[in-house]
Structure 1
Amino acid sequence: MRPVAGLPVSVLVGFALMPFGIPLLWFVSPLVTGQEAALSLAVPVSLAIAASALCLGVVYTIDWTAATRIKGVLILVGLSYFSAAGLFFLKKDLMDRVQKFFSVTPQWYPVTAKDRSYRIQMPFPAPEGEKERLLRGMVRMTDVRTAQYQPDGPKGPTFRYCCGVGQTVPNAGDLADGWLAPIREQMWFARVDEQLKREFGKLVEGQSIRHRSEPDLSGRQWVFKPDNGPSVRIVQIFVVSGRVYYLSAEGPELAPNDDPAERFFNSFELLARK
């Protein structure tokens, strides 16, 4: 092929291969800037291959003028380096939001207790769970529902949800109304706190809460993180007129304000208070 605008074709091909310097700069940049990239090295490699292929396509487009081909190659090279710089300095929280937006989310369904005391949103049909496992010896559960979903398929992380309602067991702490009710409730929650710690392991956070959708509904929240894995369990318990409501969400690196947990807890709605 004859020279393009006075330049040998080999020179223009060299320009077209310049994007392959992007992975090298990506590798060296953390040493210079002190900042690690939010994306893996596969991103600049893919970008370099795509940009060079486009540049070579422009070089060998013979029906374009020489000046157009030169400008096209230089523009593509500049855009590839500019895009690489933008991706390198991309913040992790933005990547998390993008990943969250495109992630698979379950279909949520309203679940109503058998005694119609509460309603809540849970992913997929919620089968009845094991009543004896929740607050064993302290609450006689009358209705327990469980659900789970795996956004990345069977080999991915699993999120589990549980909700239940029941009455306190006699001699396990009377939550009857009266002027001693607040004291008895504090003593009962102290026993619940000890039992949950024995069952779920390391306590990350424990505090009194008020439900967002039910401002006058107060309760307790615990966040547990076992030492043997990334799974986090969040438990919320509310007591209304002697009736106990138990809510829990469990998943890898879960937080109370994460969508997988926040949507579940905030959807809890009391239908009967007596």
Structure 2
Amino acid sequence: MLCPYLPQMSRFNLCGRIKLRPAEHLVIIVFLSESVMAFAWEPTGNKFAFIHGESPRISVSFYSIRAGKVELMKTLERRQANHLFWSPAGQFIVLAGLRNMNGVLEFVDASDVTVMANTEHFMATDVEWDPTGRYVVSAVSWWGHKVDNAYWIWSFQGRLLLKQPQERFCQLQWRPRPQCLLSAEELKGLKKNMKKYTEQFESVDRLRQSNVSSEQIEKRKTLMAEFKKYREEKEEELEHYKSRRIALRGGVDTDVLYEEEIDEEVVEFLLKVEEKVLDE
């Protein structure tokens, strides 16, 4: 699938190629009334997004392609963005306002075009997804700015996980993800039987959790038994020396000297009154 942009005509030409014969090309044209700043395909899905307009009225539009038709999903208006960064796994995208836009970062779930987080890494010059699509790095490179050089690590949902200042920091690159050891058929079977595997793993997790809980319960029971034993020993010792205490205190039993009867009093307050009209 190709998407050449023709700025003089403000339109996209979406070319879907099935075979190499020119007659079998499918061309879909999307006309725009504004200039386009950035365009990006979803790596693993059927969506694309682009930034259009001019400051301060910059918008980001999301489209999907189904059965040869291009459909507008949603347009996010008045955004501070000049770059688009899709997750390698698809679905999630970061709208970034780098360099002169002060590092505004907007994390979007493109499945329904909802904004998960709106944040900022001031003066950010670079954004880089990790190969799994779980983490994102924003960075202030020494090549772009000579001060506040650092890299920050975010979750795919836009939650800040780490701030790492680094003097004269220039570039960060993720290690490439190793190739999967499973064949295509094994992956297909795994996805097909995912429910069965999920139940197995959940049962193992419950068993481990129950083992931990039973160990904690046994530990608490042991501590309670030791405490009760200690208390009984001290109560017996207290009773054993009671006669000697009374004799030393002139025949007065001080154990019951300050015992008082406790009366319980209940006070009620009116908190709220509701009136409801019932239909006859």
| TM-score, normalised with respect to structure 1 | 0.21
| TM-score, normalised with respect to structure 2 | 0.21
Max Rg structure? 2
Structure showing greater relative contact order (alpha-carbon pairs closer than 8 Å, 6 or more residues apart): 1
